[in-house]
């Protein structure tokens, strides 16, 4: 009898142990982010998790417009959305799904390629248009309806038509090699590395992170310089909005990334802390190391809605409690 009682006790302890082991204290931070943030965000994740036991960061890269639609159309839970364009959050999420965003980084459009690309020894900032239009050259770009790099590539082509005085350049380039349009800019990297295409419109940071060669475009074209804002805004195109039949106009503007915490964030406080880490000195160093310049000073178009814990990162708000 004593032996049976002892066995029952052992079984009950084992069951109790299993139940306790299933009760995890781990908090998950779900991050939807632009594909071009993949490398720095993986590094941010690894360092933050190392210093914060009990936190698991789940990264979901996609084109920024796709990230927004996961929230607006699919109603997927998300703690942080980091977009390659503040416009996406402001236009598609605010005010129904979020109420603020902070601009935190910048970039520029380049022509990236490998040393095996056709005419790699000829291409430069003056000849790239002619080389991309050659029949034996293949080039790629990302989808304007899914990815800010996609519509920025088209805007850069439009600006190039004006800058280089080449009427018809936009139409010729956007109609060429349409089989090599991909959902997000980082999807193009594999096409370059396997020599499936010769060139791609790409962010400078992505080219640097993947050790690719690249041609820098003039500031009047590359969407990197706020002093050329007037020229950038002279071109525009329509992209898909929150619904398949909805279109929104995107005007040329200097590149600025932004992030927010949606209303449906399962772990709001943990998300605040991770954003504080991203905007802090360690986070900014990770961005610089990966060829992506922080947008200093950080800024917002919703100063009255920024969470109190994040106001210290915005010069005009740091003294507001």
Name every residue whose Cβ is closer than 8 Å to that of residue 246 and which is 6 or more positions away in sequence.
240
* DSSP β-bridge partners for residue 139: 199
pLDDT of 119 > 70? The answer is yes
Confidence band, pLDDT 50/70/90 cuts, at residue 290: very high
Question: Can you say how many angstroms the Cα of residue 201 is from the centroid of all Cα atoms in its chain?
Answer: 15
Q: Are 149 and 202 in contact (CB under 8 A)?
A: yes
Residue 249: predicted pLDDT = 95
Domains, the chain, ranges and CATH? 26-106+256-313 (3.40.190.10), 109-251 (3.40.190.10)
Residue 8: predicted pLDDT = 46
> What Cα–Cα distance (Å) separates residue 159 from each residue in 138, 221, 229, 247?
21, 5, 12, 22
Tokens of 114: 């490998």
pLDDT tens digits for range 179-227: 999 999 999 999 999 999 999 999 999 999 999 999 999 999 999 999 9
pLDDT tens digits for range 73-114: 999 999 999 999 999 999 999 999 999 999 999 999 999 999
Return the residue matching tokens 């417009």. Answer: 65
Higher-confidence position of 290 and 245 = 290
How far is Cα 62 from Cα 35, in angstroms, rounded to an integer?
5
pLDDT tens digits for range 133-173: 999 999 999 999 999 999 999 999 999 999 999 999 999 99
> Residues 279-308: what's their mean pLDDT?
95
- Please state, rounded to an integer, the average pLDDT across all residues of the chain: 91
Residue 243: predicted pLDDT = 78
* DSSP β-bridge partners for residue 250: 237
How far is Cα 226 from Cα 86, in angstroms, rounded to an integer?
14
Q: Which of 17-21, 57-61, 109-113, 185-189 has the lowest mean pLDDT?
A: 17-21
pLDDT of 6 > 90? The answer is no
Residue 25: predicted pLDDT = 76
Q: Give the strand order in the sheet containing 80-83.
A: 55-62, 27-34, 80-83, 257-260, 102-105, 294-299
Burial class (CB in 10 A: 0-12, 13-18, 19+), 9: exposed
Q: Is the peptide bond before 297 cis (omega within 30 degrees of 0)?
A: yes
Confidence band, pLDDT 50/70/90 cuts, at residue 17: very low
Q: Are 195 and 220 in contact (CB under 8 A)?
A: no
Residue 238: predicted pLDDT = 95
Q: Are 44 and 277 in contact (CB under 8 A)?
A: yes
Alpha helices (H) along the chain = 2-22, 38-51, 64-72, 86-88, 128-132, 148-163, 169-175, 187-193, 204-209, 219-222, 229-232, 268-279, 281-289
């Amino acid at each position: 009898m004593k032996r049976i009682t002892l066995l029952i006790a052992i079984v009950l302890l084992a069951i109790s142990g299993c139940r306790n082991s299933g009760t995890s204290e781990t908090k998950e931070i779900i991050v939807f982010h632009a594909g071009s943030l993949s490398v720095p965000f993986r590094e941010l994740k690894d360092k933050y998790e190392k210093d914060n036991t009990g936190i698991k960061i789940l990264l979901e890269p996609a084109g920024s417009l796709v990230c927004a639609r996961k929230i607006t159309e699919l109603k997927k839970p998300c703690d942080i959305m980091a977009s390659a364009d503040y416009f996406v959050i402001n236009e598609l999420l605010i005010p129904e799904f979020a109420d603020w965003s902070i601009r935190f980084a910048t970039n520029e459009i380049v022509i990236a390629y490998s040393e095996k690309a056709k005419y790699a020894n000829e291409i430069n900032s003056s000849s790239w248009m002619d080389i991309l239009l050659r029949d034996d050259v293949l080039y790629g770009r990302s989808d304007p309806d899914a990815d800010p790099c996609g519509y920025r590539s088209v805007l850069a082509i439009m600006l190039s038509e004006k800058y280089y005085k080449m009427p018809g350049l936009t139409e010729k380039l956007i109609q060429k090699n349409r089989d090599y349009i991909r959902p997000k800019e980082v999807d193009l990297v594999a096409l370059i590395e396997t020599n499936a295409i010769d060139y791609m419109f790409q962010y400078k940071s992505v080219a640097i992170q993947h050790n690719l060669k690249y041609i820098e475009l003039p500031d009047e074209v590359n969407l990197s310089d706020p002093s050329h804002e007037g020229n950038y805004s002279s071109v525009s195109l329509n992209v898909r909005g929150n619904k398949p039949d909805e279109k929104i106009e995107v005007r040329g503007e200097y590149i600025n990334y932004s992030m927010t915490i949606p209303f449906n964030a399962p772990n709001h406080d943990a998300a605040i802390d991770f954003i504080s880490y991203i905007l802090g000195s360690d986070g900014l160093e990770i961005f610089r190391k990966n060829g992506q310049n922080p947008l200093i000073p950080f800024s917002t178009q919703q100063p009255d809605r920024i969470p109190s814990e994040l106001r210290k990162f915005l010069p005009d708000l740091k003294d507001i409690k």
